């Protein structure tokens, strides 16, 4: 059984002025102990997808369709009480900004302890002891003293370690990480990334790691899903995606990174800009910027194609391999559906 | 923390001194002569000079100030020109009467305003928020002397369930909180006084709570699996320093007594005393009252500062 499975996920934000089509039919699975990296630029729907896994999106303005299951539990359909048990228990999340993601008027010990007491029902003292263990586990120096520190008294790297300790406090099976290294200094980024990777392996957690940084993905991912305009345009094993990208968008992303080009050459950027999520183009969302654009790209959203077994690319320009391999791994099969509408 | 407390107290001293200078000089900036009201219109220049000398009004202003300040710090505020009673007695009696009103108006206003604001802020944008915000605007906009008169007309004149003015049979000296015949005199002025602070506090609390609710850490709290109630507790604590700043100001205003409300209800409090002193040009009383009320403000602000830093440790560093 997969640890987490997302099928046909659609998320729309509805306001009086406009409807934003943030996620448009996303599907993937994460096996226990596996790290899935969702790659994409700002506004591609990667963070929204991650939040949907915990139903953390504002209920009143959000319409979610599709199915999200974690360890067989239907996340989108479960009652709120069960959802609260799931959040921080079975599934935990690390946020991008350690500066603002912690409550400024409680000590870090109180904040970690609160999570532990919420999920285990243990006493204040026991929670404090466990919080201390966790701070030591994430390698915070002089952890005992830092237990009574307020977030503003810690550096960005330490704060992110506190976030990680808090997320791991109730031994989640699935860890969601929303660009956890983006807001940190380069040297600290690497430390936090190594720490996360080590803890993920030691604890055998599944992890979904959202980032826009290809280097980070290469470092931490087992599988990669590339998102563009609310759709997964390419997915597969990390080596396959980064070494032999099939989708022109992924290829463009790779070309636009710094990897030892000569200094007098400009870095290739992808021409144009991401589409307006309120008015998506009819066919392939990437078509207006795509160097391989064909006539059909303007009319039809490309079906998933499999150049290699396990490697999916949603692009009209990609050739199919043998039909037999398709059926085995097609990620978007209509499954059980749950609808969450406005409260 | 102790260093922070000491520093705040030391900061309060020059403020208090500045306040006393302003109090003293305000009276001299205002037009008119305090002796005009006590002297008969046909008094000779010689008599006026004698009286002026007796009160010390003929000395240079800085001298008058130092003499006045020297007496003030020993608790001697001089003698009222109008009643010839010690200003200290006049002010302390009036302050006690106003404190009696504040004792009820403060909890009423703080509790009601805070709860209204917290609810509105937690449900920002929904119908309950609109109702509360609307009510708060009404509360702030109603002139309280008008509200006082309307309440008197309705409850004292039409229905005759509550007294209209004054402090009742025992007066200010033997006011008994255990007797309804005394306490009923509090009801209308307390409600009238509380109305504006309720509105102000409701709006401040709403804004603070709604703002905190939009901060990132609230999502972290939800992601931890906390219930909405537990999340709200975090939000309220974060919003508290802002709310307390406004509570401090309102506490000062209520303890200072409202000239208008106390006049409408002829309540012998500090506001009433102040208005009498202004009309009679009773300079010593005016100075004494303003000084004491200002010091109440300075002290309240000090206490609020310290309480804020107790809740939000980031304030201590500033």
pLDDT in tens, A186-239: 888 888 999 999 999 999 999 999 998 888 888 899 999 999 999 999 999 999
Asked if residue B224 belongs to a domain, the reply is: yes
Asked if residue B234 belongs to a domain, the reply is: yes
Maximum C-alpha span of chain A: 67
Asked if residue B21 belongs to a domain, the reply is: no
- Please name the residue of chain B whose CA is at the shortest distance from the CA of residue A94: B220
Question: What CATH number is associated with residue B168?
Answer: 1.10.3720.10
Asked if residue A213 belongs to a domain, the reply is: no
d(CA A234, CA A244): 11
Across the interface, whether the CB atoms of B238 and A103 are under 8 A apart is answered yes
A 52-111 residues with CB below 8 A of B?
Answer: 54, 56, 84-89, 92-93, 95, 97, 100-106
Which chain A positions have a beta carbon within 8 Å of B313's beta carbon? 105, 150, 152
Q: Which of A100, A106, A166 sits opposite B215 (nearest CB)?
A: A100
Q: Of B61, B95, B224, B133, nearest to A170 (Cα)? A: B224
Per-residue pLDDT, A295 = 84
Tokens for A222, please give them: 């087992």
Domain count across chain B: 1
Per-residue pLDDT, A321 = 57
Asked if residue A11 belongs to a domain, the reply is: yes
- b/e per residue, A101-119, with b = 16+ CB within 10 A? bbbbbbbbbbbbbbbbbbb
pLDDT in tens, A106-150: 999 999 999 999 998 899 999 999 999 999 999 999 989 999 999
Domain boundaries, position A247? 1-33+45-78+221-280+295-343
SS (H, E, C) A29-77: EECCCCEEEEECCCCCCHHHHHHHCCCCCCCCCEEEEEEEEECCEECCC
Q: Which of B223, B226, B312 sits opposite A104 (nearest CB)?
A: B312
The alpha-carbon gap from B2 to the nearest alpha carbon of chain A, in Å, equals 18
Asked if residue B116 belongs to a domain, the reply is: yes
Domain boundaries, position B134? 91-271
Q: Which of B220, B225, B312 sits opposite A95 (nearest CB)?
A: B220
Residue among B129, B212, B217, B243 with most chain A CBs within 10 A, to mutate: B217
pLDDT in tens, B65-100: 888 788 888 888 888 878 888 888 888 888 888 988
d(CA A219, CA A204): 17
CA dist list (Å): B131 to B197, B208, B210, B308? 17, 18, 15, 30
- Please name the residue of chain B whose CA is at the shortest distance from the CA of residue A149: B313
Question: What CATH number is associated with residue A257?
Answer: 3.40.50.300
Which chain A positions have a beta carbon within 8 Å of B223's beta carbon? 54, 56, 87-88, 92-93, 95
Asked if residue A184 belongs to a domain, the reply is: no
Per-residue pLDDT, B31 = 64
Across the interface, whether the CB atoms of A104 and B238 are under 8 A apart is answered yes
Asked if residue A275 belongs to a domain, the reply is: yes
Which residues, 6 or more positions from A327, have their beta carbon under 8 angstroms from its beta carbon? none
Asked if residue A144 belongs to a domain, the reply is: no
Which residues, 6 or more positions from A26, have their beta carbon under 8 angstroms from its beta carbon? A6, A8, A9, A45, A49, A66, A227, A230, A231, A232
Q: Is B224 on the interface with A (CB under 8 A)?
A: yes
Asked if residue A120 belongs to a domain, the reply is: no
CA dist list (Å): A166 to A158, A162, A197, B100? 12, 6, 16, 50
Tokens for B50, please give them: 């004698």
Asked if residue B118 belongs to a domain, the reply is: yes
Asked if residue B283 belongs to a domain, the reply is: no
Q: Which of A138-152, A281-295, A307-321 has the highest mean pLDDT?
A: A138-152
3-class SS of residue A26:
strand
pLDDT in tens, A12-69: 999 888 899 999 999 999 999 999 999 988 888 999 999 999 999 988 889 999 999 9
Asked if residue A169 belongs to a domain, the reply is: no
Domain count across chain A: 1
Q: Which of A97, A118, A163 sits opposite B225 (nearest CB)?
A: A118
Asked if residue A182 belongs to a domain, the reply is: no
The alpha-carbon gap from B61 to the nearest alpha carbon of chain A, in Å, equals 50
- Please name the residue of chain B whose CA is at the shortest distance from the CA of residue A88: B224
């Amino acid at each position: 059984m997969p640890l987490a499975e997302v099928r046909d996920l659609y998320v729309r934000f509805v306001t009086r002025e406009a409807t934003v089509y943030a996620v448009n039919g996303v599907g993937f699975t994460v096996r226990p102990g596996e790290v899935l990296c969702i790659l994409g630029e700002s506004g591609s729907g990667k963070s929204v997808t991650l939040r949907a896994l915990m139903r953390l999106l504002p209920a009143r303005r959000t319409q979610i369709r599709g199915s999200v299951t974690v360890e067989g539990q239907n996340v989108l359909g479960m009652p709120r009480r069960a959802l609260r048990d799931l959040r921080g228990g079975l599934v935990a999340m690390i946020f991008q900004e350690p500066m603002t993601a912690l409550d400024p008027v409680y000590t870090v010990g109180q904040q970690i302890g609160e999570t532990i007491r919420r999920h285990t029902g243990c006493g204040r003292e026991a929670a404090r002891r466990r919080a201390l263990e966790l701070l030591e586990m994430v390698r915070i120096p002089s952890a005992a003293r830092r237990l009574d520190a307020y977030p503003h008294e810690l550096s960005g790297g330490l704060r992110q370690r506190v976030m990680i300790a808090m997320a791991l406090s109730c031994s989640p099976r699935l860890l969601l990480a929303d660009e956890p290294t983006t807001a940190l200094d380069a040297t600290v980024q690497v430390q936090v990334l190594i720490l996360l990777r080590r803890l993920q392996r030691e604890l055998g957690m599944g992890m979904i790691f959202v980032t826009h940084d290809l280097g980070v993905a290469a470092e931490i991912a087992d599988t990669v899903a590339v998102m563009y305009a609310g759709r997964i345009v390419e997915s597969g094993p990390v080596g396959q995606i980064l070494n032999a990208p099939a989708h022109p968008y992924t290829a463009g992303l790779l070309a636009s990174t710094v990897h030892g080009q000569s200094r007098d050459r400009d870095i290739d950027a992808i021409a144009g800009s991401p589409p307006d999520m309120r008015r998506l183009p009819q066919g392939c969302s990437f078509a207006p910027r795509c160097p391989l654009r064909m006539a059909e790209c303007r009319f039809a959203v490309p079906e998933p194609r499999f150049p290699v077994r396990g490697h999916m690319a949603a692009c009209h320009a990609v050739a199919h391999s043998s039909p037999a391999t398709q059926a085995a791994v097609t990620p978007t099969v209509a499954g059980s559906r749950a609808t969450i509408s406005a409260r | 923390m102790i260093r922070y407390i000491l520093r705040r107290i030391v900061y309060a001293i020059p403020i208090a001194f500045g306040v006393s200078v302003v109090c003293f000089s305000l009276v001299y900036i205002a037009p008119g002569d305090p002796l005009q009201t006590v002297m008969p219109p046909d008094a000779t220049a010689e008599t006026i000079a004698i009286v002026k000398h007796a009160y010390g009004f003929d000395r240079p202003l800085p001298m008058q100030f130092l003499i006045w300040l020297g007496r003030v710090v020993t608790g001697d505020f001089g003698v009222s020109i109008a009643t010839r009673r010690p200003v200290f007695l006049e002010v302390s009696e009036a302050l006690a009467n106003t404190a009696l009103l504040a004792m009820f108006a403060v909890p009423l206003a703080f509790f009601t305003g805070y709860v209204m604001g917290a609810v509105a802020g937690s449900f920002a944008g929904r119908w309950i928020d609109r109702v509360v915000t609307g009510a708060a605007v009404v509360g702030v906009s109603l002139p309280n002397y008008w509200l006082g008169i309307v309440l008197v007309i309705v409850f004292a004149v039409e229905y005759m369930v509550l007294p209209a003015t004054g402090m009742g049979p025992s007066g200010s000296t033997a006011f008994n909180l255990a007797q309804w015949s005394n306490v009923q005199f509090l009801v209308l002025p307390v409600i009238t006084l509380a109305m504006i602070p309720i509105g102000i506090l409701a709006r401040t609390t709403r804004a603070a709570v709604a703002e905190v609710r939009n901060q990132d850490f609230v999502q972290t709290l939800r992601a931890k699996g906390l219930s909405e109630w537990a999340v709200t507790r975090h939000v309220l604590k974060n919003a508290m320093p802002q709310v307390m700043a406004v509570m401090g100001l309102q506490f000062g205003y209520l303890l200072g007594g409202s000239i208008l409300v106390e006049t409408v209800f002829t309540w012998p409090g500090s506001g009433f005393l102040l208005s009498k002193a202004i009309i009679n040009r009773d300079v010593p009383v005016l100075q004494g009252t303003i000084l004491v009320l200002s010091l109440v403000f300075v002290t309240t602000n000090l206490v609020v500062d310290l309480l804020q830093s107790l809740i939000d440790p980031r304030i201590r560093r500033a």
